[in-house]
Structure 1
């Protein structure tokens, strides 16, 4: 297991980080068992879905070892409330049942019938793919989910880096970091936007947790990209919720790194200002500039040096470092006041049990200093803007969704 993936695995004991990828389909399968068998067959044909973790020694990195795909990895749920909101409420409860990837590396949950799915007139089917972050970052996870439902595009290649000699890797990381500082001072690289004061959205998650999803056609998301349009709308909605306190708003946006991935997780968080005081056109330009500047910082040689230094870190040292993390500690400042995770999942060419896909969503997990997260996910021309919120961060989720709906 690559060091960055092992870090996600060990950290999951302190901050649960299973992700839940939702796929909604139009109708009920004529033969649910056959639909399930088809998904299991697809999983068995994908090497990355036929393994589990073996964590044998505290002095070595965990290993991915072969594991058969079993029928137990499919759970069919009989909903007491078969509405779309009732289904999302059931999904919330699954976050309390994190996977032990030494036993079960992923699981699929099936809900049918579900009524009121956006874009579905009658009954529909919701399939939820649960997976640990150590198995995949966003882009790779989307490709794996699409594979399960019929897409034949191979998963992105992963090419592990050689660990190398740690002292040399550390010296190289220090050298390229100094280069980054010089390039920033010279104006060749834009600096990061810095830390922000905490807002209610940074409250420790407590109380009722809620999932919600708004749906738009791609043409209804004006801007240079769908991601920028969504960020601008989140800015308006949070400003309406918090008033003047929201002036310093910033969001963490996961962004894939360039090049061939050396691990299953190959991304970083870009921090963008949300600029709620600016008019929409100017705000969109500033958000797009922050994203572009973050991309340029990712492409600086210092970032590759950092990744190679982490890859060379002895397992015992990284495991010890993770053990020191205190999830109960409260910072005085944060990089972002919310998360907006965005991913295009390609054409609407997927099926489950013969049913066509109508939308896909992901609800990024909450953490001890992040009580509100957003997902922006496209399939075909349909964009799902999803919200995961704790009552301690957003006391009235429906009021927030009204603000977000209006902003969109």
Structure 2
């Protein structure tokens, strides 16, 4: 026999609140009995009753549910149950229509032991490693000198004091932005994840440090949470993990870009030591000075060798030798020229004497004359002229003009 279905609600025929509550209760009731894992945030035992109320919080998110159970169930399964304990409950979800609230009715509670926690952490470790969250190739190098450092740690904790004091002792001007969060308990993971998101969005932050002092394995469980590991992996800013002591290795150490053994070690890794840097600068300066002096000495030696060469040491020697050669050549040229001039003068004298011997001037000097007609023709016989011809008569000391009469 089928139950008639409730007609769908409309604006004209809306469901009453009781109908909605009944439907919600029916849907939730279909879930049945389930096993739930969580962390105890609060335990309330009402005097005079056997009812115990637990606030069960998700280890990785800011979510919680109320668990109602019997005192005998708690005493049997987790007799020493305290706030912050990790438990597994067998419960059935219930919806209380009168208050419109959801809770779990538990009939069995098991407190998770350390061995079981470690086994779960090993499973999570294998899962994250298989996904590549531990890959060394993706780890980023820290900046040499960060402009600003983000620090996530407990309020007024020794870890905060160690990081700040040692970092400022190494580099006095280092700037920090500190966000204090819960570092253990059910609210630790959500607060740390929120702080990571805030610092990762801050453009002035160059590196983020997660710092916490030592503690038991249960105290350090938030730093092995899967959600926190994924949040660290997703950060764009390099992350340094400084959780616990050297022997403490939470999962966030494998995901972070740099693992520091202690908060003090983290301070040494994020900033350089000013004294060491000054010492290194001094050593570099000394090496540079030695190299420069060595270079200058080598070049000075080369210059000395060059200057010691004869052509450089006594540059006038070549000039003097060449000057002597030039002077000798000039003297030879002068003698040669003088000899040629003398010989040419003698030849010219001989030629002049012969010329004078053959010249008509010598004949004129002896009293002879040369008679020329007009036009320059020489008269050699009387028949070559006529009466009234004009004649030119050249003498040794001049000329005469004559007219032929007959």
Is the TM value for this pair above 0.5?
no
Richer in helix (by share): 2
Answer with 1 or 2: which has the greater Rg: 2
TM-score (norm. length: structure 1): 0.20
